[in-house]
Homo-oligomer: A and B are copies of this chain.
Amino acid sequence: MSSATFDVLRKVTTATITTMLLKKGIRRCWMNGPKPLVPGGERLIGPAFTLRFVPAREDLATPESWAKPTSTRGAIEAMPEGVIAVADAMGIVSAGIFGDILCARMKKRSVTALVTDGALRDRTGVLASGLPVWCAGLAAPASVNGLTFVGWNEPIGCGGCAIFPGDIIVVDDDGAVVIPQDLLEFVAHEGAEHELYESWVFTEVERGVKLPGLYPPDDDAKARYAQWRKRPA
């Protein structure tokens, strides 16, 4: 995926992305659960780096397990620059998958963002780390309290969506969406066009035009939009 496409996509809201994917028959692309820990930040994009947890078992999910090769620590060291880490926590919000130290290390490694249908822990420290986070809650207990980490870059479920490593993730104030790789170009360019159209609709609404016939447009509105579309920049 080219950085030019990313630049186009960066101006497309997650709301518009879901509408473009619906045109391709894809309804399951918005993750139910992850919300921005700090709303109002900029939209972020990156390829998915997946993390997978299963439920805790008391003989496996222990602080000692953090030193094993298959650990969240190992996963973080395997993350390439620019990825968005997506963690399948099975929607469990009573254990925080990552805290301040792990987030700080991810930030250091230039990870773009962390997305999970689970919880984070150590809110103050996570905010201080500067890592952008989309999560479903905050909880004091460590991951091992409810979860066992089992691997990275496998297909996962997150918030009711299938996420495959390398899928494109976009996050903004409306949450997190996943774009299949082969639909990236379509979504970026149709989406940008759609944003332009909506900005025109907005000006029409501002001047008092009614919605029926405008959004979606009838022939008259299409003509007016085509006219506006040709305006000098």
Contacts and interface: CB of A to CB of B under 8 A. Distances in A.
Interface in A52-83: 54-64, 66-67, 71, 73-74, 76-77
A26 B55 CA distance: 13
A73 B162 contact: no
A104 interface: yes
Contact of A162 (B138, B148, B155): B148
Contact of A174 (B139, B156, B161): B139
Instruction: Name, among A71, A139, A208, the residue most crowded by chain B CB atoms within 10 Å (CB to CB).
Output: A139
Interface stretch (A2-10, A210-218, A225-233): A210-218
A: interface residue count bin: 35 or more
A190 interface: no
A211 B145 CA distance: 20
A184 interface: no
B101 A15 contact: no
A216 B146 CA distance: 19
A58 B26 contact: yes
A27 B58 contact: yes
Contact of A15 (B25, B59, B96, B156): B96
B215 A22 contact: no
Instruction: Name, among A23, A30, A172, the residue most crowded by chain B CB atoms within 10 Å (CB to CB).
Output: A30
Nearest to A27: B145
B174 A138 contact: yes
A22 B145 contact: yes
A205 B59 contact: no
- Top 4 A-B residue pairs of the complex, sorted by shortest distance between their CB atoms: A14-B140, A73-B211, A140-B174, A54-B157
26 contacts: A13-B124, A13-B140, A18-B142, A19-B141, A26-B57, A26-B58, A28-B57, A28-B58, A30-B139, A32-B94, A54-B156, A54-B162, A55-B161, A57-B162, A59-B180, A61-B162, A71-B212, A73-B215, A90-B90, A101-B215, A104-B205, A121-B174, A124-B173, A138-B175, A140-B177, A148-B162
